[in-house]
Structure 1
Amino acid sequence: FRPDAAGGGLLHSEEGQLSWGGTVAPVSRTLRVRPRPDGTAAIEFADGRPFHDLDLRTGRWTAVHPCAADRYEGTFTAVGPDTWHLEWRVGGPAKDQLLCSVYRRLG
């Protein structure tokens, strides 16, 4: 995370490789994290569109994001102070997949 000078809050940047159908390609995205006074946060796409809420006060959170006719259901699990897991279950007429990620703090 780094400060979001343009809109307050924090920027969450991801970079990695996507393997799909035998092809490997570099991928990246940036999300805006807008903390709230109660310890939760609003997550937005880089262009400011709403993505989902996030509440890790208990260490686990499930968020739902509709994307056209598809439905994304994400389960966030804090494993420790420097690691968290995310599973997106995606279903609908265009998609049927499970995306699993492990996030670790650099440093």
Structure 2
Amino acid sequence: MTVERFAGVWPIDRAIADGRAGLEGHLDGTARCEPTGDGGLSWVEEGVLSLGGDVRPAGRRLLLRDAGGAWVDVLFGDGRPFYRFELLDDHWAGEHGCGDDAYTVAGHLVGADCFVEVWHAVGPRKDYRLTTTYRRVVS
């Protein structure tokens, strides 16, 4: 199963560059990716966001589901579709439309216990880049 590669606890190091607001920021946190009992994984991120002098808690919940072969469906925590990607040669890419704004993601595994993901959001309301490094806690 493709999604099993993402199971575990992953400290998060996320750099934020907001071109529209002219701000840079950072998120430090942890992602916990655990089996849901139906063959998928629950991805829960919690951390502290620092952006433009504002510091606050931040988080998100996603669901990962095998979609056959090397394909993975990523859903919002409430089950709505978010994006789909194909994990080939330890790389993937996906996209999500939200009104007139477009979100693209490119990721790659760096060995068994690290991966990097870069999101770019552009459109009339968005212009930012999130670069996140995840390093799995190995016990």
**AA of the residue aligned to 2:118:** E
Alignment deviations for residues 19-55 of structure 1 (CA, whole Å, 9 cap, x no partner)? 1111111111111001133132111000011011122
The percent identity for this pair of structures is: 38
Is 2:98 the counterpart of 1:67?
yes
Alignment deviations for residues 49-106 of structure 1 (CA, whole Å, 9 cap, x no partner)? 1011122231111111011211001011111101100111110011111111111112
Is 2:42 the counterpart of 1:11?
yes
- For residues 111 and 103 of structure 2, what CA distance do their matches in structure 1 show? 25
Is 2:56 the counterpart of 1:25?
yes
Question: Equivalent residue for 2:77?
Answer: 46
Question: Equivalent residue for 2:117?
Answer: 86
Query: Which of the residues 16, 22, 37 maps onto 2:68?
Result: 37
Shift of the alpha carbon at 1:8?
4.5
- For residues 110 and 64 of structure 2, what CA distance do their matches in structure 1 show? 20
When normalised by structure 2's length, the TM-score is: 0.71
Structure 1 unaligned segments of length 5 or more: list them: none
Shift of the alpha carbon at 1:15?
1.5
Between 63-72 and 50-59, the greater mean CA deviation after superposition: 50-59
8 A contact 1:71–1:90 mirrored in 2: yes
Structure 2 unaligned segments of length 5 or more: list them: 1-32
Aligned pairs, number: 106
When normalised by structure 1's length, the TM-score is: 0.90
Q: SS of the residue aligned with 1:80?
A: coil
- Higher normalized contact order (CA 8 Å, seq sep 6+, divided by chain length): 2
Shift of the alpha carbon at 1:3?
1.4
RMSD: 1.4
